Amino acid sequence: MKHVATILLLITILSLLSSCRSTFGDCSPVEAKWADTLMINDNHYQHDFPDPDDKKEIQVEKGKLLGEVKYKMADDACEGYQMKNNDATLLDEGTKIYAIKDIPPSLAVVAYNKNVLSASRVFVVDKNEKAKTIEELYPIQGLVKGIHIESTLDGRRIHTFSPSSTEAFLKEWLPIKLQHPEKLNDAWDENKMIFLELELVNGITFRQTYNLDSKVFHSGAVGNAAIADMIKKEYASID
C-alpha cells in the first residue's frame, strides 16, 4: 500500500504540473506582432532598421562570439514571459551572436545563422539596466557619421543635421541622465513626435523618438534647452 500511495502521489504531482503548464504555458490562440529583439549579457537589443529604400542588410565584420540563441519566443512564449539572456523573439534557436569589429558589444551585435541565406542581422541596444546616462546606454563617442530627421509616416530621411549641429547635439545629449521610460509616459504627444536617426560610421543606424514639446526621448531622457533649440532649428529648415 505504501508503494501504491507513493505512485498515486507522483501521479497527482505530475497532473498538477501538467495543469499549471497548460494554464500558464499555452499561448494559443494568442497572436502577437513580435519586434525583432534579443537579449544577451543582460542587454536588450533590437534589429537595426535600414533606410526603407535600402533592401540590403548592412554588412559588418564579425568580432568574437558572444553566445547563441537558446530560445525563440515567437509563437511559443506566453503572455507575461520575462525575456532572459540568450532569448530572441524571431531568431531561430542556435543562431550565433557576435560582437562587431570596432563597435562596443554593449552598443550593437550581429546575429549570424550559417544555415540560412542572408541571415546576418545587426541589433542595436535599446535597454541596459546598468546605464545611468545616454552615453552609457549608447557608447557612440567618435562613431557618429550623421544625424537625420526621418518621416514619421514612412521612415524616409527628410533632413540631415549640419556637421556643427551634429557635434553640438552629441556634446549636450550624451551626458544626460536616464530616467525610467514609464515615468515619462505622460509627456508623450503623438502630434508632437519626430524621429531622429543616428548613423554610425560603419552604416549602422538607430532611431530616437523625440517629443518637441516635452523634450522627452523614448530611451528615457529629457533634453535640455540647448538640445530643444537645436532640434527645432533643424526641424524648421525642412523644405
Q: Which of 45, 195, 69 is nearest to 126 (CA)?
A: 45
* Backbone φ/ψ region at 88: left (φ over 0), alpha (ψ -120 to 50), beta: beta
How far is Cα of residue 68 from the mean position of the Cα atoms in its chain? 17
Q: Which of 161, 219, 225 is nearest to 44 (CA)?
A: 219
Lowest mean pLDDT among 71-85, 134-148, 215-229: 71-85
Reported as a single tens digit per residue, the pLDDT across 163-219 is 999 999 999 999 999 998 777 777 777 788 999 999 999 999 999 999 999 999 998
Residue 164's SS3 state is helix
Cell of 223: 533634453
Reported as a single tens digit per residue, the pLDDT across 105-164 is 999 999 987 666 455 789 999 999 999 999 999 999 999 999 999 999 988 999 999 999
The answer to whether the CB of 209 falls within 8 A of the CB of 232 is: no
0.75 exceeded by the pTM? yes
* Predicted confidence (pLDDT) at residue 29 exceeds the cutoff of 50: no
pLDDT of residue 116: 62
Q: Which of 15-24, 26-35, 142-151 has the highest mean pLDDT?
A: 142-151
CA-to-CA separations, 115 to 29, 55, 112, in angstroms, rounded = 30, 21, 9
Reported as a single tens digit per residue, the pLDDT across 229-238 is 999 999 998 8
Residue 18's SS3 state is helix
Rounded mean pLDDT, 51-58: 58
CA dihedral 11, 12, 18, 19 (to 10 degrees): 150
